[in-house]
Structure 1
Amino acid sequence: MGKTKKNKLSKMKIEVTDLGLVEQMLEDKSVRREARVKMRKPTEEEDDTVIDDKLSRKILTQARKQQEELEEEHGFKKPKDVRPKVVSLGSSKNEDEDSGEESDNIPSDDEDYCEQVKVNPEDEKALEMFMSQNPPVKRTLADIIMEKLTEKQTEIRSQLSEGSELHVEKIDNRITRMYKSIRQILSKYRSGKLPKAFKVIPNLRNWEQILQITEPEEWSAAAMYQATRIFTANLNSKLAQRYFNLILLPRIRDDINEYKRLNFHLYLAIRKSLFKPAAFFKGVLLPLCEAGDCTLREAIIMSSILAKCSIPMLHSAAAILKIAEMNYNGANSIFLRTLFDKKYALPYRVIDAVVHHYIGFRRDKRDLPVLWHQSLLTFVQRYKEDISTEQKEAMMELLRLHTHHKITDEIRRELLLSKCRDVEDGSSTVMQTN
């Protein structure tokens, strides 16, 4: 006879309903051993191997060649305007650490944000007619520091006020040597962490004097973006305004003038500066309009950034008010049109200032550019019901003096079909004139 096998209930798949009452009671009182789980050792094939950079580059190169060969065989030619995407094998976390802010959720492809700007030569010539013939002399951070150093010590102490003016102090030679070495790093910076000595500059009392040692005009575009992130996050509005005006704005204008477009890192720097809208308007936009020599390309690029970013209404209203009170140049129309398109509920004081700005051109005998007519049309379309009857009549008179063969009729139609803010029944007192 064969050996009898014991009934091991713990190992047999038997339902409780098939057992008797006594067996169920014994099973509940007995101590059962749990099944042992065997841990298998991972085989060599299952290990995740890390491929070094050289082998990864070779693999990508071969894959790109095979793709090009397939495209040639099937008769598909790649457009010239499309650039191959750059594959990054490293992590970019180091770039966003210790910066005091969260990173921007912006795609790596810069073509969607920093597109090539096409400028009409005729519009550019028309804009140059309204530029200031004697623009103010550009002052750099080094010029201001040297001017302060040449003044008497007693005059400096009497003129400096806490948190608003430049503090000039004697710097130790060791600190000077350290920041001169940082200058070499910033001139060649592409990605990664910045030196900690540079990150503490915004917390120093004489931060402008220390910053001048690093020579901001020699920074790379990537270093300018990282510096803008640090200074925007750690400086108050007044000090951030000085940084934007003395360092960021001259660099932006020089880059546009040299390359006829804006570098992607500088584009991100402007977007980052908009986190402090008051400092941005006072340090970048308003000085650009007051200079009187803002080119059409600069105005288009800056206005495109304004259109894509969210700006609080009060800061935008204050900027519209200031631009409307300035002496006219062509760039003002571009910025006003961009801010009008945001469709803010502007206060009546700002509306009245803009209307006064346009009505003032009744005494101007020059041929106004198309940009002026476009900005006026945008203003009328957005705020036609926020003007008074008297202002509407003055604007109708303005349209008889300055006309455009396509835009003026549209502006007149918008005014005639609108209801003024001081009219209750909606009837307009302005009659259409031939």
Structure 2
Amino acid sequence: MGKASKTQDKQRHDPLYRDLTTQGGNLRTKARGAKKQEKNEDEEYIDSAASRKILQLAKEQQEELEREEREALKENSKFNFGRAYEQEEESDDEFDQEDEENYDDISDFGGSDEEFQFDEDDLNEEDARLFEQYLQQTQPAKEFGTDGQSYNLADKIMASIREKEQQFEQTNESKVEKPVDAVLLPPKVIAAYTQVGQILSTWTHGKLPKLFKVIPSLNNWEDVLYVTNPDKWTPHVVYEATKLFVSNLSSKQAEKFVEGVLLERFRANIEDNEDHSLNYHIYRALKKSLYKPGAFFKGFLFPLVSTHCSVREATIAGSVLAKISVPTLHSSVALNYLLEMEFSPATTVFIRVLLEKKYALPYQIIDNLVYYFMRFRVVKEDAMDEDSSKAKAAPLPVVWHKAFLAFAQRYKNDITEDQRDFLLETVRQRGHKDIGPEIRRELLAGNARLPPKEKDADVDM
């Protein structure tokens, strides 16, 4: 069979618009303006007599309206507008019919909205004052604000509403006392970061919320951080937050974070655990905080030893300090701060850790170390100070003897001959049965440090 042709010579049926037009459909086949043009052609014009009658009726109605307005004006004002104005009114009442026919349009007679026109020169001062007073009474009064601009009734209502709201807020503020630790943040911010805190209370892995990551870049980051409730963070969040804040904040600001968050979580975690151990993630957070040594010492170590610090807490924190390298300057300052504090086993733990790092300490710090260990030797009763009496009353802990041994092993060549003798006397009086002989052997094996004068003499030779 052959293929059907694509085009046909004849249509199978008539187009749809033909059916609509032939069967009484509503299809429009002519332009919209054609019908109007036909109507305009059929309209007839009004002759001159009919138009004159229409104008006469309009004029009579206009005069009647003007007469009523003048009567109302006289009753309300109760004053005379002047002789010139009365003459003008009388002239308006005596229109001639011949003059009326000369007008071709009704607008020439004036509408009801026309204003009275008169010559101001014919009015005296009293009439002008009364006229202005009348206009102020008849025209609607305008309301003006404090800035000189007019405002309508709606503005007036809104102003009164705002005034009532301010009075209500002032009364509530006087009745409700704000808490001391209140956070001055917008309600939306508080609501958002409260939800973030709920997420962080169960967070263990994955990505941290973006709202939490931007906190270090905020000026009031402490207030926003407080809203997230760091006490309920998981240990995983403590580690991630320490990395985030220590790396993005300055040393002073990181110190506030370490003291306010990390130190509190460190102590709470050791106290809450049955075996008094530290969570692995918080232990890692302590390591990360040491990347800013100033923030670690001022925000963690010094507040820890200033309060009641147990030997367990000092041992765990000291193990972190022993594993991370700390600059010599920071170690020297921290060691000097610990030497000036009251004696306690926890303080001696950190002294020993810093001594075992074997830094090249300045002679001033070494002299302070010598005086620190010399304080515990026994002297005569009349010359005994408070520290020596305390040392004599109670035996020294083993950690003190270990710290003394670490000092003798590392800095035995950096002390003078007199200092060596004082330290040997301390070992003899307060030495440990096992550690004391080791300290004595180390001190005797060292070479004494030459005084400054003898060093200068050797150089001159």
TM range (shorter): 0.5 to 0.7
- Matched residue, 1:334: 349
Distance in 2 (CA, whole Å) between partners of 1:336 and 1:391 is 19
SS state of the match for residue 271, structure 2? helix
Structure 2 counterpart of 1:419, which letter?
N
Q: 5+ unaligned residues in a row in structure 2: which ranges?
A: 1-177, 378-387, 453-461
The reply to whether residue 418 of structure 1 matches residue 446 of structure 2 is: yes
Shift of 1:407: 0.9
Structure 2 counterpart of 1:213, which letter?
V
The match for 1:271 among 271, 287, 295 is: 287
Deviations 1:99-124 (A, max 9, x none): xxxxxxxxxxxxxxxxxxxxxxxxxx
- Matched residue, 1:211: 225
Structure 1 counterpart of 2:364, which letter?
R
The reply to whether residue 357 of structure 1 matches residue 372 of structure 2 is: yes
Deviations 1:342-374 (A, max 9, x none): 111011111111111111222121210111011
- Matched residue, 1:197: 211
The match for 1:180 among 194, 205, 212 is: 194
Q: 1:285 to 1:175 in 2, by over 3 A?
A: same
Shift of 1:195: 1.1
- Matched residue, 1:281: 297
Distance in 1 (CA, whole Å) between partners of 2:279 and 2:337 is 29
The reply to whether residue 316 of structure 1 matches residue 344 of structure 2 is: no
Distance in 2 (CA, whole Å) between partners of 1:204 and 1:178 is 15
Distance in 2 (CA, whole Å) between partners of 1:371 and 1:282 is 24
Shift of 1:413: 1.4
Higher relative contact order (CA closer than 8 Å, sequence separation 6+)? 1
Distance in 2 (CA, whole Å) between partners of 1:297 and 1:146 is 36
The match for 2:433 among 391, 400, 405 is: 405
Shift of 1:272: 0.6
Distance in 2 (CA, whole Å) between partners of 1:346 and 1:274 is 20
Over aligned residues, Cα RMSD in angstroms?
1.9
SS state of the match for residue 337, structure 1? helix
Distance in 2 (CA, whole Å) between partners of 1:221 and 1:410 is 42
Distance in 2 (CA, whole Å) between partners of 1:288 and 1:147 is 25
Distance in 2 (CA, whole Å) between partners of 1:196 and 1:320 is 40
Distance in 1 (CA, whole Å) between partners of 2:328 and 2:403 is 19
Q: 1:183 to 1:346 in 2, by over 3 A?
A: same
- Matched residue, 1:255: 269
- Matched residue, 2:417: 389
The match for 1:230 among 237, 244, 250 is: 244
Matches within 5 A, 1:144-163: 147=180
- Matched residue, 1:427: none
Deviations 1:404-426 (A, max 9, x none): 111111111111121111179xx
Shift of 1:247: 0.9
- Matched residue, 1:245: 259
Structure 1 counterpart of 2:367, which letter?
D
Q: 1:297 to 1:181 in 2, by over 3 A?
A: same
Shift of 1:219: 0.5
The reply to whether residue 298 of structure 1 matches residue 298 of structure 2 is: no
Shift of 1:400: 2.5
- Matched residue, 1:76: none
The reply to whether residue 373 of structure 1 matches residue 410 of structure 2 is: no
Shift of 1:285: 1.0
Give the greater-gyration-radius structure (CA).
2
Deviations 1:360-405 (A, max 9, x none): 2221212101110111011110001111122112112212321211
Q: 1:344 to 1:147 in 2, by over 3 A?
A: farther
Structure 2 counterpart of 1:315, which letter?
H
Structure 2 counterpart of 1:267, which letter?
Y
Structure 2 counterpart of 1:327, which letter?
E
SS state of the match for residue 361, structure 1? coil
Distance in 2 (CA, whole Å) between partners of 1:402 and 1:216 is 46
Deviations 1:131-181 (A, max 9, x none): xxxxxxxxxxxxxx96576xxxxxxxxxxxxxxxxxx7x311011100000
Q: Between Structure 1 and Structure 2, which shows a larger proportion of helix residues?
A: 2
TM-score (norm 2): 0.55
Structure 1 counterpart of 2:425, which letter?
E
Shift of 1:197: 1.1
TM-score (norm 1): 0.58
Distance in 2 (CA, whole Å) between partners of 1:236 and 1:352 is 33
Q: 1:423 to 1:208 in 2, by over 3 A?
A: closer
SS state of the match for residue 391, structure 1? helix
Percent identity between matched residues is 45
Structure 1: which 4+ aligned runs deviate by more than 3 Å?
145-149
- Matched residue, 1:325: 340
Structure 1 counterpart of 2:270, which letter?
I
Structure 2 counterpart of 1:273, which letter?
S
Tell which deviates more after alignment, 304-313 or 367-376: 304-313
